Structure 1
Amino acid sequence: MAIPRHLIPTIPFFILLSTLLLSGESRSDTNNVFSPCGDAKVQRKDGFTFGIAFASRTAFFSTNNSVQLSPCDHRLSLSNGNSQVAVFRPKVDEISLLTINTSNFFPDSVGGYMVAFAGRKYAARSIPAFVANSTYSVSSFTLVLEFKKGRLQNLYWKRDGCTSCSGNSNFVCLNNQDCAIRTNNCKNRGGSVDCSLGIQLTFSGTDKHNSVFNSWYEVQNLRQYSLYGLYSNLRDSLTSQYNNFF
């Protein structure tokens, strides 16, 4: 089920509809903010809406490239460019595996970087993360949403320093932080590997009742595994094709 376009009027550029987890239908969900550009204060088990924008790295910065702005900020020119957005609504403090099908979507064609974001008055955004260019593609990420008393404070990409693909000749370690494959091996570039994006999502901090989130600690305890290996319906994903190294 897609979030209606009119609920996100502050993002006029194209909405890439991907795996959308609508926990808002749950009776335990007290969060009625469904726009990624809205401000919400949440408790555990609420749904929480956030977005991931795809564009060039420079597109996320002010005109003089000195300050990174949120994709919800009207001062950015994303609406005038070839940008795309995926919108998700996971359940707060549950480990989720978000996916973006790249069979008809080419991250490198829109700039090759992505930024996770949510909020307006209390806007938060991650640093730009490299996804793909004409040479390399990265398909596995871990994103941590950090809250303080139920208010989102930060979103950050957690890297493992390429330990998960060390010694595997099918992969290249980019900048000592990301495992990548050659883009020409991806199905959407004529190869045989499914390079759909997989984002392992976790939460840290506290909710509006000051209850501590546990999902990030659970991931830390299982950091040698990936959720890809725990989801049977993803056995044909990139990780299983390359020796289940995650």
Structure 2
Amino acid sequence: MRVAMEMAMAVAMAVVVALGMVATPAEAGDNNRVFQPCADTKIQRGDGFTFGIAFSTRDSFFFNQTQLSPCDSRLALASNANAQLALFRPKVDEISLLTVNTTVYPAVTNGGFMVAFAGRKYAARSLPAFVGNSSYIVTSFTLVLEFQKGRLQNLYWKRDGCASCSGKSNFVCLNKLECAIKTSSCKNANQGGSVDCSIGIQLAFSGTDEHDAVLNSWYEVSNLQQYSLYGLYSNLRDSLTSQYNKIF
């Protein structure tokens, strides 16, 4: 099985990065020298960890009715015109806010779903999460990376319900699980909308690192309400926070 770094190279122009969380040379204290998302590694607290998020149609993540990692070439994502890839390298056990600019990359929402992934022999991938279509766009997600003795075991989307958007006319509650913005309200919808519907992903870690140290950031983020991390990043105030203040 050939890894899907070939896919990453084929869609290099579609790579989205945010907040400087990219596969750059390791900083001091970062002992993880693996920078490719389709490669195996073990981590400890303080390391950087590279993973990818692939955007495409839901069916494109399945082969013979079985969901595969985007690193598996049988999915043929490299030849899929709608498939796009975002790469991130957050610091292990720190709460991070990742963003994907859907104004620059509208095919992210045209594809409809996203899957977070990392690893090759020990491949892990999340379930497909709905992002958007011609009617609605979900802009806030929480992703948890679960490790066991430093090896990635699982990536899963944490659903927070719809309490944060209850009674707000620009939002709808999808399947009683998540808030979505009407596409007509988005700047990138070409319909006169005023909201920059960039995707925000709250990222946290759980489990243990290779030294059996407990990763605690998930317990911290689990107490936060949806969108609460936006206020913690002053450099995003104009691009993200202020837009939500207009509609909340």
TM exceeding 0.5: yes
Q: Give 1:120 deviation, angstroms.
A: 0.5
Hey, what's the Cα distance between the residues in 1 that align with 2:143 and 2:175?
18
Runs of 5+ unmatched residues, structure 1: 1-6
Q: Deviations over 1:55-112 (max 9, x none)?
A: 00000000x3x21000000111211112110000000000000111122211456411
Kept after mapping to 2: 8 A contact 1:160/1:177: yes
Structure 1 counterpart of 2:91:
91
Count residues with an aligned counterpart. Answer: 238
Structure 2 counterpart of 1:25:
26
Q: 1:231 to 1:76 in 2, by over 3 A?
A: same
Kept after mapping to 1: 8 A contact 2:161/2:176: yes
Residues 9-18 or 157-166, more deviating = 9-18
Identity of aligned residues (%): 66
Kept after mapping to 2: 8 A contact 1:71/1:117: yes
Aligned partner letter, 1:61: F
Kept after mapping to 2: 8 A contact 1:142/1:158: yes
Structure 2 counterpart of 1:147:
147
Hey, what's the Cα distance between the residues in 1 that align with 2:94 and 2:68?
28
Superposed structure 1 runs of 4+ greater than 6 Å apart: none
Q: Give 1:245 deviation, angstroms.
A: 8.3
Kept after mapping to 2: 8 A contact 1:204/1:216: yes
Hey, what's the Cα distance between the residues in 2 that align with 1:224 and 1:238?
14
1:219 and 2:216 are equivalent in the alignment: no
Hey, what's the Cα distance between the residues in 2 that align with 1:122 and 1:207?
16
Aligned partner letter, 1:160: D
Q: How large is the RMSD of aligned CA atoms in angstroms?
A: 2.1
Structural mapping, 1:35-184, within 5 Å: 35-62=36-63, 64=64, 66-82=65-81, 83-107=83-107, 110-184=110-184
With the length of structure 1 as denominator, give the TM-score of the two structures: 0.90
Residues 224-233 or 113-122, more deviating = 224-233
Hey, what's the Cα distance between the residues in 2 that align with 1:239 and 1:167?
20
Hey, what's the Cα distance between the residues in 2 that align with 1:136 and 1:109?
9
With the length of structure 2 as denominator, give the TM-score of the two structures: 0.89
